[in-house]
Amino acid sequence: MTAAAQTVTTAAEAGTGGILLWVVLPYLSLAVFVLGHVWRYRYDKFGWTTRSSQLYENRLLRIGSPLFHFGILVVLIGHVIGLLLPESWTAAAGVGETSYHVTAVTLGTVAGVCTLGGLAILIYRRRTVGPVFSATTRNDKAMYVSLTATIALGLAATVDANIAGGGYNYRETVSPWFRSIFSVQPDPHLMSGAPLLYRLHALSAMLLFAAWPFTRLVHMLTAPVGYLTRPYIVYRSRDTRLGARAPRRGWERTG
């Protein structure tokens, strides 16, 4: 059976709804994420910023912001390991299923709680501190809803499956599905069997990624890691580029 035929078969088992949710939506979300960022970077470099509100208020931000950001960084690393590394790889490295799961659940729960706690502080601050609230746009509010829903669902899925329930090995269903998206052989069947909270988490994440390029979250993509290697003082010639933007096509300077 060829790969394409297999895809068709499994797709048929998943039904139209399954195809829409686990094949069409991921690719749509991915396309909007990538192209959206390209468009935003070309069109709105000036708006590409963290829009920090530290000037208005520092007491709550000092606790909430690092809590949230470091938490979400650990969550990100956890997702990279959990979704991208196949189970056979960790097994080959000598990490058994039980020890992997205990580590992942513990770290994931701690990081998730930190993230959610930080987010709660930040949202409380955003609502109660006058200047911060008046600097909050509708776009921000929608982003906060989407972000909070995604994180809360993710944490809920972990807690529900591992602490309340007997544990769920997402590396047999969710992770292969995630990889199948990027190997262009999407397998919606894998996802149809996952617990509801996992499916909701994945759905909300896809919606969040589709909205990502149009929110203030873009600052993540320009995380300044280049700072570690560049020289301290930047010199730039006035003549290389007149004005801050590169000239539009057809308007380049000659000579």
Partner 1 sequence: MPRGEATIGRVMAQMAMVMNLDKCIGCHTCSVTCKQAWTNRTGVEYVWFNNVETRPGQGYPRCYEDQGRWRGGWELNKRGRLALKAGGRFKKLITIFSNPVLPSLDDYYQPWTYDYETLTNAPLQDHTPVARPKSLITGKDMKISWSANWDDDLGGSAQHGEKDVLLGQVCEKIKLEFEQTFMFYLPRICEHCLNPSCAASCPSGAIYKREEDGIVLVDQDRCRGWRMCVTGCPYKKVYFNHRTGKAEKCTFCFPRVEVGLPTVCSETCVGRLRYIGLVLYDADKVLEAASTPDDTGLYEAQRSVFLDPDDPHVIAAAERAGIPRDWIEAAQRSPVHALINKYRVALPLHPEYRTLPMVWYVPPLSPVVDAVRDSGHDAEDHRNLFAAVDALRIPVDYLAQLFTAGDPAPVDAVLRRLAAMRSYMRDINLGREPDAAIPERVGMGEEQMYDMYRLLALAKYDERYVIPPAHAEQAHKLEELATECSLDYEGGPGMGGSGPFGEASGGAAPIAVETYRALRDRQTSDTPAAPLDKDTRVNLLNWDGKGSPPGLFPPPPPGGDATGHGGGEVEPKP
The contact set with partner 1 (CB under 8 A) reads 45-46, 48-56, 58, 61-62, 65-66, 68-70, 130-131, 134-135, 219, 222, 224-228, 230, 232-239, 242, 244-245, 253-255
Q: How far is the CB of 233 from partner 1 (least distance, A)?
A: 5
Q: How far apart are CA 153 and CA 195, in angstroms?
A: 12
- 101 labeled part of a ligand binding site: no
- 219 labeled part of a ligand binding site: yes
The token pair at 228 is 């570690």
Q: How far apart are CA 115 and CA 158, in angstroms?
A: 14
Backbone phi and psi for residue 235, each to the nearest 5 degrees, phi listed first: -105, 140
- 37 labeled part of a ligand binding site: no
At 47, the amino acid letter reads G
Q: How far is the CB of 103 from partner 1 (least distance, A)?
A: 24
Comparing CB distances to partner 1, the nearer of 98 and 232 is: 232
Is residue 57 within 8 A of residue 129, CB to CB? The reply is: yes
Q: How far is the CB of 56 from partner 1 (least distance, A)?
A: 7
At 23, the amino acid letter reads V
Comparing CB distances to partner 1, the nearer of 98 and 237 is: 237
The token pair at 147 is 């972000």
The candidate with the shortest Cα–Cα distance to 65, out of 130, 123, 118, is 118
Q: How far apart are CA 197 and CA 203, in angstroms?
A: 10
Q: How far is the CB of 82 from partner 1 (least distance, A)?
A: 24
Q: How far is the CB of 108 from partner 1 (least distance, A)?
A: 21
Comparing CB distances to partner 1, the nearer of 9 and 49 is: 49
Q: How far is the CB of 137 from partner 1 (least distance, A)?
A: 11
The candidate with the shortest Cα–Cα distance to 24, out of 138, 181, 254, is 181
Backbone phi and psi for residue 219, each to the nearest 5 degrees, phi listed first: -60, -20
Comparing CB distances to partner 1, the nearer of 93 and 225 is: 225
| Local structure of 224: helix, strand or coil | coil
- 189 labeled part of a ligand binding site: no
Comparing CB distances to partner 1, the nearer of 138 and 166 is: 138
Q: How far apart are CA 136 and CA 133, in angstroms?
A: 5
* Residues annotated within a binding site: 69, 79, 201, 219
Residues making up the annotated binding site for heme b are 69, 79, 201, 219
